[in-house]
A and B are shown apart, each in its own frame.
Chain A
Amino acid sequence: MSATLIPEASSGGTGAGPGAPSTASTMRRNFWRGVWRVMRRKPSRLAGAVILVGFAFMAIFGPMFYPDQLPDNANAITQPPSWEHWFGTDPQGRDVLALVITGSRYVLLSAAVTALITVVFGTGLGLFSGFKRGRWDTVLMRVTDMKLTIPGLPLLLVLATVWKFGNPLQMGLVLGLLGWGGVARAVRAQTLSLRERGFIEAARGLGLSTRHIIGKELLPSMAPYIAMNMLIAVTGAVYAQVGLFFLGVLPYESNNWGVMLNLAVFQAGAMITPYALGYLLAPLLAILLLTLGIVLVVDAMDEIFNPRLREE
């Protein structure tokens, strides 16, 4: 019930009495009630939200609890999981859990940058292309098609010989610039179908400006869709950058999950030596948990914003 309290408090703040119901606040209250209902019906979705918040906290505050250089321990090299070290230690005697936590910042920060760039670029181009149509649309979509056809990972590998991706922002930028194709396509398709709908026609008939139509009519109805795409872009970004470091084509400058995986598999031989399994499994579990959280949240969002899917 706590979720429904928030909009009520805000509607009280605007001074709307019981006799003068403000439509905006009722709508908001209904929205939160819908969210709550969806969450309550399938508690697994709540778990998704909790996982994502947990990862965000881990990336923001986690590294503060550890020194910049994690302490080595020559007496505890490549140990199996124990009470002291939940996921064992790496070949330098560092705690694997600590490595995962300190590594999460690079991974999640660059993923966030990628998602932002993907969505801004993709939405912008998709809206422009779908709304204007005509020649620019054809040209842009041809370019997008090309971008979608070129396999991204091999291209990244080739690029890795030129760029070094030392900091997460750079990595996020490159991945974002390579990854907007899918979102642009999807947003364009949505725009094309929405622009023929009644409410857009009405807005145009009323002589409202293009800016108003795009900003106030088109974007809000696509916002949930875009947000879902953004979350999916996060998984793609995590996948690609961890993979690049895992393949070992980039220098091990920073501490992150991909470097851990690379060292675990190709140096500690963790895939074939069972006692080093913790070293390998910890980053894998982190990736799986993050994916699970995102899948659950996207699923929940789909149901909240797409009432047709709700089966009572």
Chain B
Amino acid sequence: MTVIARRLAGHLARGLVMILVVATVSFFIVNNIPGDPMAARYEKLIEGGMSPEAAAQAVKVLYGFQPTGTLWQQYTDYMAGLVHLDLGVSVSRPGTPVLDVLGEAAKWTVLPVLAGTLLSFLVGVMLGVFAAIKRKSKLGDALAISGSLLHGIPQYVLAMLLVVIFATLIPILPAEGPVDILFEPGFNAGYIGSLAEHAVLPVVTYALSAYGGWVLAMKSSVVTVLGDDFILAAELRGMKRSIVFRYIARNAILPLFTILALSLGLLLGGAVFIEKIFNYPGLGLMLINGVNDRDYALMSGAFLLITTAVIVANIVADLFYTTIDPRVRSGEEAS
């Protein structure tokens, strides 16, 4: 246990430093933004048919709470706010704290990403084993190529193709939005069914985009283990195939948990595209809206939260790896 505790402490320290760095970087990028959010808001209000005086008044009210003072003072204010989980107030949704906006958005990102990861992991690992065992046949070859191709295809291309096929050409699934507004939110069959129906395409997109990585990694891992001496020894001793297979699976799957972190990071980062295409109100969409509306509190908040999620995912994956692999746990392999 002490090894795990030590690792956890190290990870947490490093994670905190990274969050600090990212927060600092995003603060200074934001403070260099050429497009003035006040001006952008003003123009938007005028476009919306407001008279110039009313627009100026509205902007003043909205921005009455904007931080003032020197850059350094703003920076320390911002950091002090972060410690209290205060990310500022959203400008494009006047008066709403960014944390509330993001908290509402987070569930629309986290749940589909987790579902997609799980799905792609199960399917990818199984097909990866298959591709490794049958690697000399046409089918194994085809599986490996399908893995590399899906690994290489951008997420947004996948998402768009899926929408075109399953929502336009064969209209069986809804193309966008998280849920039908016809149903009353709550624990009733209609609402849950609509939620599930709307989640199918995004989850499948997440799963397909991560699937390739799993197949390729599992295939190469199994091929490596197959060549190990202890497999040969087990076969020579006449062990049952099912037991040998369990040996192979257990050893081959271990390195894959390091990929879990990478995969979660990829999916969380890619949420930007998938949420934009499916109009899913998650963190990625909030980030894009923040950029487009020049709502920099929302933008840097969303960026910070996505990065934090990736860092946490990394730590969890590493700890998980430490727990399940006895070689790492005993501290033989320091890092």
Interface residues of A (CB under 8 A from B): 146, 149-155, 157-162, 235, 238-239, 242-243, 246-249, 261, 265, 271-274, 277, 280-281, 284, 287-288, 291-292, 294-295, 298-299, 311
Complex interface: stretch among B21-29, B80-88, B181-189: B21-29
Query: Considering the complex, which residues of chain B in the window 1-54 have a beta carbon less than 8 Å from any beta carbon of chain A?
Result: 18, 21-22, 26, 29-30, 32-35
Report if A151-B310 is in contact (Cβ < 8 Å); known contacts: A146-B21, A158-B300.
yes
Report if A280-B160 is in contact (Cβ < 8 Å); known contacts: A153-B272, A159-B29.
yes
A-B contacts, 29 of them at CB < 8 A, read A149-B310, A149-B311, A151-B307, A151-B310, A153-B269, A154-B302, A154-B306, A157-B287, A157-B291, A157-B299, A158-B29, A158-B300, A159-B29, A160-B291, A161-B291, A246-B273, A247-B273, A248-B292, A249-B292, A271-B168, A274-B169, A277-B164, A287-B153, A287-B157, A288-B153, A291-B149, A292-B149, A298-B148, A311-B136
Of listed B160, B311, B314, residue having the most chain A CB within 10 A: B160
CB <8 Å contact, A242 and B154: yes
Interface residues of B (CB under 8 A from A): 18, 21-22, 26, 29-30, 32-35, 136, 145, 148-149, 152-154, 156-157, 160-161, 163-164, 167-169, 175, 265, 268-270, 272-273, 276-277, 284, 287-288, 291-292, 294, 296, 299-300, 302-303, 306-307, 310-311, 314
Nearest 7 A/B pairs, CB to CB:
A151-B269, A239-B154, A291-B152, A153-B269, A295-B148, A271-B163, A249-B291
- What residues of chain A lie closer than 8 Å to B272, measured between beta carbons? 153-154, 157, 247
- What residues of chain A lie closer than 8 Å to B34, measured between beta carbons? 162
Measured between alpha carbons, how far is A154 from B21 in the docked complex, in Å?
15
Of listed A155, A265, A292, A311, residue having the most chain B CB within 10 A: A155
Measured between alpha carbons, how far is A154 from B132 in the docked complex, in Å?
35
CB of A166, distance to nearest CB on chain B (Å)? 14
Closest to B153 in A: A291
Of listed A158, A242, A280, A284, residue having the most chain B CB within 10 A: A158
CB <8 Å contact, B33 and A162: yes
Report if A157-B288 is in contact (Cβ < 8 Å); known contacts: A149-B310, A150-B310, A271-B168.
yes
- What residues of chain A lie closer than 8 Å to B268, measured between beta carbons? 151
CB <8 Å contact, A150 and B163: no
CB <8 Å contact, B277 and A265: yes
Closest to B296 in A: A161
Report if A272-B167 is in contact (Cβ < 8 Å); known contacts: A158-B29, A295-B152.
yes
Report if A158-B291 is in contact (Cβ < 8 Å); known contacts: A271-B175, A274-B169, A295-B145.
yes
- What residues of chain A lie closer than 8 Å to B136, measured between beta carbons? 311
Measured between alpha carbons, how far is A239 from B160 in the docked complex, in Å?
14
Of listed A151, A152, A160, residue having the most chain B CB within 10 A: A151
- What residues of chain A lie closer than 8 Å to B284, measured between beta carbons? 154
Of listed A146, A153, A265, residue having the most chain B CB within 10 A: A153
Measured between alpha carbons, how far is A273 from B169 in the docked complex, in Å?
9
CB <8 Å contact, A243 and B294: no
CB <8 Å contact, A247 and B269: no
- What residues of chain B lie closer than 8 Å to A294, measured between beta carbons? 152
Closest to B314 in A: A149
Report if A154-B157 is in contact (Cβ < 8 Å); known contacts: A159-B29, A272-B167, A291-B152.
no
CB <8 Å contact, A243 and B156: yes
CB <8 Å contact, A284 and B152: no
Measured between alpha carbons, how far is A34 from B215 in the docked complex, in Å?
28
Measured between alpha carbons, how far is A162 from B311 in the docked complex, in Å?
25
Report if A158-B303 is in contact (Cβ < 8 Å); known contacts: A150-B310, A247-B272.
yes
Measured between alpha carbons, how far is A287 from B21 in the docked complex, in Å?
35
- What residues of chain B lie closer than 8 Å to A291, measured between beta carbons? 149, 152-154
Closest to B33 in A: A161
CB <8 Å contact, A161 and B29: yes
Q: A242-B154, A247-B273, A291-B149 are in contact. List 10 more A-B contacts (CB 8 A).
A: A153-B273, A157-B299, A158-B303, A161-B294, A161-B296, A162-B32, A247-B276, A249-B292, A261-B156, A280-B164
Of listed B32, B154, B294, B311, residue having the most chain A CB within 10 A: B154
- What residues of chain B lie closer than 8 Å to A288, measured between beta carbons? 153, 157
Report if A154-B303 is in contact (Cβ < 8 Å); known contacts: A161-B291, A162-B34, A249-B292.
yes
